[in-house]
Amino acid sequence: MQGNEHYVRQILDAFRADPSGVRLVHRDVPTTAGELADSVTSAAAVMRTHGVGVGSVVGVLTDPNTPATLVSRYAANLLGATVVHLAGVNAVDPADQLSTDSQGGIAAEAAPVMITVDEANLGRARAICGTTAVRPLLAGFGDLGGDVVDLTALPADAFRLDTARSGDIAVVTYSSGSTGRPKGASWSFRVKNEMITASALRAQKATSLITAPLTHSSGFAADDVMVPGGTVVLLPGFDPAEVLRTVALHGVNRLVLAAPQLYALADHPDTARTDLSSVRDLFYTGLPASPERLAVAAKVFGPVLMQVYGTIETNMISWLLPHEHGDDALRATVGRPLEWLRVTIRDPQDDRVLPPGESGEVCVDSPWAMDHYWNDPERTARTVRDGRIHTGDIGHLDDAGYLHLHGRIADVIKANGIKVYPASVEHALMEHPAVAEAAVFGVADADRVERICAAVVLRGGAEVAPDELREHVVGRLSANHAPSDVELRKSLPLVGLGKPDKLRLRADAAARFAATPGEEES
């Protein structure tokens, strides 16, 4: 699909067409389309006077789910500058910020000419500026001090939309890498322009509640809602009671949640007595969802569930539609690939395409994928090959074209003489009525034998012994799949789109094994 018109100009044209319509609600405070448009063009005019333009980099260090984050990106992109989000790598929790040192490392690599800030992050921004080779300007919305440029200082008409420019890379979003080093997915202006053109043509008007950070895929979701004249309702994070209150108060009809958040919302005592009749689309994403938990959620919310599978490098890859949630077998899949991209399953060793039913690496050829990893040609070369994104996920396509996921290539466990896919063991654990969440991973013990480990969160009030959970897996799969180590936890550490942080879980398990040499659980 071709769409060469600047994506921000498309959004602002939609704002100007209905200036009194509410386009953003933050902490229950509405902002009209006209007010948003004025904020963006005023900020763009100020940025331009300070040398921001095509080829420039603007860092954004504001609380993620605030108007300032959106306005900063729109204003810098209007000038053709690249926006680099500095706050964090967590695509689910806006409060999960990187350390100041990590943020400074990204800023040093990106070399921004300007960093937009708010009062909450001003101290961090000043510390970061003190460590960079070339000190960037600080800029904020209003009077934040003598060393901070005021992005509201010029009138809205000081910038004309016909002067908007597109550069090469529009946005860089960092996520946690498998090695722990953040990786910056770079999204081109071409992709952003084409995606917003498609959103405008679909013209699906919605009131969408966003709890995940606007610095990640929720930023794409906000753009998608705004250009057809919809409204974005922002919360600073996910709290089930607050989500329910907000849905009822604002008549929200679209939600985007991580799979564990969907479970929490379905289990919450306030759900049954909250008016959710406005909800028509409840998207959930992040990790392969439990078919059993999905069956419960489908009964609670009705035919509105839509599972989305994607990665930071590809955006959306496949989806499972509402009517497909009634099928037990289909709930174990992540749906069918989207019609405008091509998914192949390839042998990780020789890259040959595998037939339906055979498991291999999920590879995606999409017109709307990332361009490259920011300043990381080696990682880019490993991931982007012949125009395809190699996701690192293991899966297979069935004869009907549905995609089944089994985990990450790096997570496949070689134990008891077989390859164990963590997702299959996680699904088996989730079938136990006492289990709310589960993460399965491999850890080498002192004898360098890889052991199957599980971290499990129980439902409220439930009690179950680790041995019972092992026997449950034996009954569902086999003795070779049963975890030798089961740790009961109050919660799982998360990264990315609500995915368990298996690096941290492996480190915790390895530390336990080291502290108890020779002790093996049966």
In this structure, are 321 and 432 located in the same domain? no
Output the pLDDT for position 204: 87
d(CA 396, CA 400): 11
- Residue 133 is predicted with a pLDDT of 78
* One domain, residues 402 and 437: no
Are 377 and 277 found together in one domain?
Answer: yes
Distance CA(270)–CA(416), nearest Å, equals 45
Last residue of a domain, one of 408, 440, 473: 408
pLDDT level of residue 90 (50, 70, 90 thresholds): confident
C-alpha distances (whole Å) from 250 to each of 12, 26, 52, 234, 329 are: 23, 11, 37, 11, 35
pTM to 2 decimal places: 0.85
Residues 33, 181, single domain; the answer is yes
- Report the share of the chain in percent with pLDDT over 90: 75
Q: What is the DSSP pairing of strand 254-258 with strand 207-210?
A: parallel
Our CA dihedral for 107, 109, 112, 116, rounded to 10 degrees, sits at -20
> What total of structural domains would you count in the chain?
3
Write the DSSP symbol of residue 92: S
What percent of the chain is predicted at pLDDT more than 70?
95
**How do residues 227-271 score in pLDDT, each as one tens digit?**
999 999 999 999 999 999 999 999 999 999 988 899 999 999 999
Residue-wise pLDDT tens digits, 356-388: 999 999 999 999 999 999 999 999 999 999 999
How far from 458 is each of 246, 488, 508, 521, CA to CA, in Å?
A: 28, 7, 19, 20
Last residue of a domain, one of 408, 428, 456: 408
The enclosing domain of 267 has a CATH number of 3.40.50.12780
E strand or H helix at 247: helix 240-250
Whether the pLDDT of residue 515 is over 80: the answer is no
Q: Estimate to the nearest angstrom the gap between the alpha carbon of 182 and the chain centroid.
A: 14
**Under 8 Å between Cβ of 112 and 106:** no
Q: What's the whole-number average pLDDT of the chain?
A: 91
Same domain, yes or no, for 178 and 71?
yes
Q: Looking at the domain assignment, is residue 111 inside a domain?
A: yes
Which pLDDT score is estimated for 103? 92
Domain extent at residue 180: 7-197
Q: What is the pLDDT of residue 522?
A: 37
95-128 pLDDT, tens digit per residue, is 888 889 889 989 998 999 999 999 999 999 999 9
Which residue's structure tokens are 């992005």?
Answer: 151
Q: Are residues 100 and 31 in the same domain?
A: yes
- Asked if residue 353 is part of any domain, the answer here is yes
Structure-model confidence comparison of residues 154 and 447, the more confident one: 154
| 61 has a pLDDT exceeding 90 | yes
pLDDT, residue 496, reads 63
Which of 380, 408, 436 marks a domain boundary?
A: 408
58 within 8 A of 113, measured Cβ to Cβ: yes
Same domain, 289 and 422: no
Out of 4-8, 406-410, 498-502, give the one with best mean pLDDT.
4-8
Q: Is it the case that residue 519 has pLDDT exceeding 50?
A: no
Residue 520 has pLDDT above 70, yes or no: no
Alpha carbon distance 421, 277 (integer Å): 39
Q: Which of 99, 95, 97, 119 shows the shortest CA–CA distance to 237?
A: 95
Q: Do 434 and 401 share a structural domain?
A: no
Structural domain includes residue 206: no
- In a shared domain, residues 425 and 450: yes
C-alpha 21/C-alpha 520 separation (Å) is: 63
427 and 287, same domain (yes or no): no
Q: Is 210 part of any domain?
A: no
Residues 418 and 278: beta-carbon distance below 8 Å? no
Q: What's the whole-number mean pLDDT along residues 434-463?
A: 87
Is 15 in a helix, a strand, or coil? helix
Greatest Cα pair distance, the chain, in angstroms, is 73
Rounded Cα gap, residues 425 and 164, in angstroms:
52
Instruction: Give the number of C-alpha atoms closer than 13 A to the C-alpha of residue 414, restricted to the C-beta side.
Output: 4
Kindly state whether residues 360 and 422 are assigned to the same domain.
Answer: no
Same domain? For 403 and 418 the reply is: no
